[in-house]
Amino acid sequence: MPRGRLPEFIGAFAVASRPVQLTFDRIELWGRGLVALTASHTPAALLDLHAALSETLVRSGLPVDSRPYLPHITLARNAGSSASFLMRAHEPLEVKWRTSGHVFVKSAGGRYNVISRY
C-alpha cells in the first residue's frame, strides 16, 4: 500500500464488525516449514468482516489475495524437524479467541505493529 494513502485506509477500514469467537483446533504444516494453528470452523461474522474489508481494497484499486480466507496462528517458521513433533501432539490443542473489533496492522518480518483499532 502506498504510504501516502495510509490516512485514506485508516478511515476506510472502519467497517462494521460483530464480536467473534473462534476456536483454533488444528495444527497444519504449510509450505516452507510454517506450522500453523487453524480453525475447523470460521464464524460467519468473521467471514463477513473479511468480505467487507476486501471490498474496501477492491474499491480503492488495490489487489486482494485470491486464496480462500484461512484464519490462523503461526506457531513456527522454518520448523524443519520440529514440525513433526508438533504434528504428533497426543492431546488435542484448542485455543479460544474472542474479539470485539478489528485492527489495521503493518506486517514486517513476522512482526506486527497496530496502526488503528476499530
- Closest C-alpha to 73, from 96, 103, 55: 96
Q: What is the pLDDT of residues 90-109, one digit of tens each?
A: 566 789 999 999 999 988 88
Q: Identify whether the C-beta of residue 16 lies closer than 8 Å to the C-beta of residue 91.
A: no
Structure pTM? 0.81
Per-residue model confidence (pLDDT) at position 86: 63
CA distances from 82 to 24, 35, 89 (A): 20, 9, 12
Going along the chain from its start, the domains and CATH numbers come out as 3-117 (3.90.1140.10)
Distance, in Å, from the CA atom of 116 to the CA atom of 78, rounded to the nearest integer, reads 30
Longest dimension (CA), the chain: 50
- Pick out the chain residues at pLDDT < 70: 1-2, 81-92
Distance, in Å, from the CA atom of 75 to the CA atom of 37, rounded to the nearest integer, reads 7
Per-residue model confidence (pLDDT) at position 29: 86
